[in-house]
Amino acid sequence: MDEFKRFFLRGLAAVLPTLLTIAIFLWAYRLVDTYLGQHITRGMLGVMSLVGEPSAVNAEEDALEYGSPIDRWIETGPLAGLRETAEYNIISSNALDSQDPVIAQRAEHARLNALWSIAFKKYKLGLVGFLIAIIVVYFVGLFLASLIGRTTLRLVERTVSRMPLVGAIYPNIKQVTDFLFSEKKLEFSGVVAVPYPRQGIWSVGLLTGRPMKAIAAAAKDELVTVFIPSSPAPVTGYTITVPRSDLLELDISIDEALRFIISAGVVKPDTQLLLDPVEEGQNEIAKSESQ
């Protein structure tokens, strides 16, 4: 049982990053498609319905193959045994032959809309709405990069922030999105060990830069700001300001430091491995023989 658990966890660790990456991309696709792409597609369907009937669609057969199935089957005719769809019922509705011109006109409009809906499903034209949504988002970003766009955005944000309830939620969401999509990336200038949370206890931290002006002015020594990541989730942690003289610079990369933190100290850089007394003695003998 222990062997199964060990290999299962090893396999899970191997496939989980790929699965999570795919899941994030699918979530982003559904988000854009649900709130933008599908509405654009509906607008395109409405416009195409005014143009006329799609010529590349076999009305009855395609309606049954690409339509939305319902719990009813065709009992007679060459299509007997096939499951009916909502689109098939629309294009074969008796309302199309109605003597009332209003009813007939509405039925014809519904038929054209159903045919174009089938055409969109058959030829995957729904992706066009998603692509247009991506282009729209791009041009929104392009507009917001201009002076007029930034001014407009500030006015909108100010108005939204003053709205009841919405004003309590929007600023927090904006802080998260600004952090995730900010063009100013968080950069670390090195890996250090710092006595934290007290003298005698060493924590691995990432050197971020200079301190705030008020703190630097109140201190006598040269200060630096250090981010202390938490284990095993280094995206959280503590930001401290300490004298540079208290730091111990570590000759390891940031990736090696993060692996050390995520593994709770199990995975150490090769250059920082401690040898046991036997190995250390063998190394000393090897050095003396080489000399």
DSSP one-letter code for 245: G
Give the strands of the sheet with 223-229, arranged side by side. 237-243, 223-229, 202-209, 190-195, 248-249
**Tokens matching residue 77:** 């005719």
Determine the pLDDT at residue 273.
78
Q: Please tell me whether residue 198 adopts helix, strand or coil conformation.
A: coil
pLDDT tens sequence across 159-169: 988 888 888 88
User: Distance (Å, rounded) from C-alpha 240 to C-alpha 193?
Assistant: 12
- Answer yes or no: pTM beyond 0.75: no
| pLDDT at 91 (0 to 100) | 92
Determine contact, residues 33/93, Cβ cutoff 8 Å. no
Answer yes or no: are the C-beta atoms of 260 and 268 closer than 8 Å. yes
Cβ distance 64 to 82 under 8 Å? yes
CA distance 66 to 60: 10
88 in Cβ contact with 63 (< 8 Å): yes
Residue in the structure block whose two tokens are 């090897």:
286
* Helix intervals (H) in the chain: 2-32, 38-51, 59-66, 86-91, 101-122, 126-144, 147-161, 166-181, 213-218, 254-262, 277-290
For residue 87, the tally of other CB atoms under 10 A from its CB is 25
Cβ count near 20 (within 10 Å): 10
pLDDT of residue 4: 87
Q: How many CB atoms lie within 10 A of CB 243?
A: 13
Residue spans in the chain of domains classed CATH 2.30.30: 190-272
Type of residue at 122: K
Question: Would you give per-residue pLDDT tens digits along the chain (291 residues)?
Answer: 788 888 888 888 888 888 888 998 999 999 999 999 999 999 998 898 888 889 888 888 899 999 999 999 988 888 888 999 999 999 989 999 999 999 999 999 999 999 999 999 999 888 999 999 999 999 999 998 899 999 998 998 889 888 888 888 888 888 777 766 766 555 667 899 999 988 889 999 999 888 888 988 888 889 999 999 988 878 788 899 999 998 999 988 888 888 888 888 888 887 777 765 545 455 555 555 555
Of 90, 61, 62, 57, the closest CA to residue 77 belongs to 61
* CA gap 167, 169 in Å, rounded: 6
17 burial level (CB within 10 Å; 0-12, 13-18, 19+): exposed
Say if residue 243 is preceded by a cis peptide, omega within 30 of 0: no
Residue 168 token pair? 């309590």
| Residue 69, pLDDT score | 92
Report phi then psi at 77, rounded to 5.
85, 180
Residue at token pair 């003695």? 281
CA distance 129 to 37: 5
Q: Count of CB atoms within 10 A of residue 257's CB?
A: 22
Task: Give me the CATH code for the 190-272 domain, please.
Answer: 2.30.30
